[in-house]
A and B are shown apart, each in its own frame.
Chain A
């Protein structure tokens, strides 16, 4: 790819060290559920990987259940406790969750569950007091993401977790965007369930995990059936190379987190400084509570679709997103940004830049050059569209 890749929040390049860790198991043969020698060796590699994932969130290895990705982990985390509870109850979540949480929650709503979707402030944060007030006698589950995939905004999980723990509901955290990028301790936030993804962390696509608290034990029913793997919570032959890759990605991220966070934040700030110089550009999210790798900006005076097309199709091609990758194929502007109070037009003229381990200073300068050039070109083409009111509070 010659493109400047600033779409790490959609999928981050596989780290060569992770790939090297995977290859012996990709070429290897055995089913880790088999009782013979090759099967046991595969099983041992799976357990080492489980320890590595657990270590990154301060969990015990037997609290990690492998899944095919964060989407499956989210589905299990929502539908699992609901099925265990039996009849309909109440679920508290937020309007800015990933679709992998919102879609299962809305299905439960259609099945008779009462759902509270909490709003967020202009920076994209949930008010813990508002969440506490939403908890009711029949609240079974609370699901709040750690870091938003579009804006990078970090939620105050410790405060939220305290309220949920006092209430007694199951507390699920979608940490797909924060794993390995921010310190995250299952105990410190009081989470019962945490969704994890490998490919946002320079690990392989197609593997994730759900943290399931042992003490006190989080109660949930499986959503896939057959074969009794993963403590009865998730059947299917384990893709050994994939889980080994996730383990390696977690080990690497754990070692490098502090240094990487600082380096990525510095590049993100540089990108913002340059884009802000354009004028009519607004930063979305809460700059005081944001993950280092995501910068979401609104650009006044251009059509969002034209800008995204110009950037992704131009030379050098810029791999960025208007929001979540999985929403790209759908029409409509970001529901996350609209929940933060943006108008549909403002939300549509937004770009998400997401940086990763392999983003260089040069990438940032070239990307900034390209965005400035493209915005300037589009604004000149359609000067009437350059309405300063299109972006409220433009920087």
Chain B
């Protein structure tokens, strides 16, 4: 058995996307900055992809800056916006991806005060806490995600944007997880900048984008060569960008169908989990991504369950792929005020368009087997035992 339930970490490349990329891995090898025919053809393909990505995000093609991924897009936004602002406070969501959190923390040595937007126990940012932070003054930049990668909780970005703008701050929104799984309209998010990634929407790894209004003053983070309107230097990865465009177009065209399919699977999965005694589903009571369920089984450590499931050919995550193997509980769950002993138990299932109802049933059966009375407890953490 081989079941993949880790689509928030990365998705399999859609075969239709691969087909669009292959010509650019064969004859379309020219440098898109070159003036000869091959270069001009690559440039035209990149510009077409720019339109496709813009359409997915409800943006204008001129608002798309291609990067090497979501992490670079987040870095460009947070550090690039800050570099053109007077020094002050940056408010960063406590449940953000490390790409945003660490980019914000990197501002501290440059004279910025880094403060966090508190999270509520429900998995959403605490808007009252946000407004208090803003009222304290001097906030120049706010960074908050559209959807959390671990719990799937959707954030009220429109309200965050409104509060940030009222306080005179810019707002960066990491939309890496929402794109392709929910409706994303750049103007409606209220964000000044939006980060996107291709490999979370069945596109290739190694390419992402920052959506930004050209009226927003931003400092490039990679220099040399004047690519991407001077905002991002480096020879364009034509095949990757073309793949991103194709993946974006498919995601937009199939959004409703994918959403409905994922939600059906998620309901089936949660139905099964609710029949297991004591299982906690995190951010259970708020609107979430249609594909994401993060839960804990009492007495079982998440990393241990992950390994046991892996031995059965089932790929899940305990949280963010980037944090795997560190043996620390999820910063997202801790920010929500979840007890660390419970947070140690977190398992994240993130479904995809390649999963079926049978896959979900197999997963539930294996999980029940692994956690039934008498089953060997997988590598229990002392902290959990103490709890």
Contacts and interface: CB of A to CB of B under 8 A. Distances in A.
B236 interface: yes
A242 B205 contact: yes
Interface in B1-59: 4, 6, 9-13, 15, 18, 21, 25-31, 33-39, 41
A52 interface: no
B38 A5 contact: yes
A217 interface: no
Contacts of B323: 227
A237 B69 CA distance: 8
A345 interface: no
Interface stretch (A202-210, A336-344, A363-371): A202-210
A23 to B, nearest CB: 8
A139 interface: no
Contacts of A228: 98, 322
A238 B205 contact: yes
Contact of A35 (B11, B18, B30, B310): B310
A199 B225 CA distance: 16
B158 interface: no
Contact of A236 (B28, B35, B72): B72
B102 A226 contact: yes
Given A34-B9, A35-B307, A204-B237, A318 B36 contact: yes
B243 to A, nearest CB: 9
Interface residues of A, number: 73
B159 interface: no
B249 interface: no
Interface string A277-321: 000000000000000000000000000000010001100011111
B205 A308 contact: no
Interface stretch (B185-193, B259-267, B268-276, B312-320): B312-320
A99 interface: yes
A22 B12 contact: no
A235 B103 CA distance: 11
Contacts of A308: 35
Interface bracket on B: 35 or more
Given A205-B235, A319-B30, A239 B37 contact: no
Contacts of A326: 31, 33, 224-227, 233, 235
B224 A100 contact: yes
B317 A224 contact: no
B35 A328 contact: yes
B324 interface: yes
B359 interface: no
B68 interface: yes
A12 B234 contact: no
Contact of A328 (B27, B34, B234, B309): B34
A29 B310 contact: no
B6 A69 contact: no
Given A29-B4, A33-B321, A239 B240 contact: yes
Q: Could you say which of B37, B38, B206 has the most chain A C-beta atoms within 10 Å of its C-beta?
A: B206
Interface string B236-256: 111110000000000000000
B29 A13 contact: yes
Given A37-B315, A75-B224, A199 B235 contact: yes
B291 to A, nearest CB: 15
Interface string B195-210: 0010100001111000
Contacts of B301: none
Contacts of A237: 9-10, 69-71, 197, 199, 205, 321-322
A133 interface: no
Nearest to A326: B225
A215 interface: no
A199 B29 CA distance: 9
A22 B306 CA distance: 28
A207 to B, nearest CB: 7
A36 B310 contact: yes
Given A26-B21, A242-B206, A102 B224 contact: yes
B366 interface: no
Nearest to A328: B35
Contact of A107 (B35, B223, B315): B223
25 contacts: A7-B31, A10-B33, A11-B29, A11-B30, A11-B235, A35-B310, A39-B6, A69-B234, A71-B224, A71-B235, A75-B224, A99-B224, A99-B225, A205-B31, A205-B240, A206-B206, A223-B221, A225-B102, A226-B322, A235-B71, A238-B205, A319-B34, A321-B34, A326-B227, A327-B225
| For the complex of A and B, 7 pairs with smallest distance between CB atoms | A206-B237, A239-B206, A226-B99, A100-B224, A68-B68, A326-B225, A71-B234
Given A19-B25, A36-B316, A240-B205, 4 more contacts: A34-B10, A37-B315, A100-B234, A236-B71
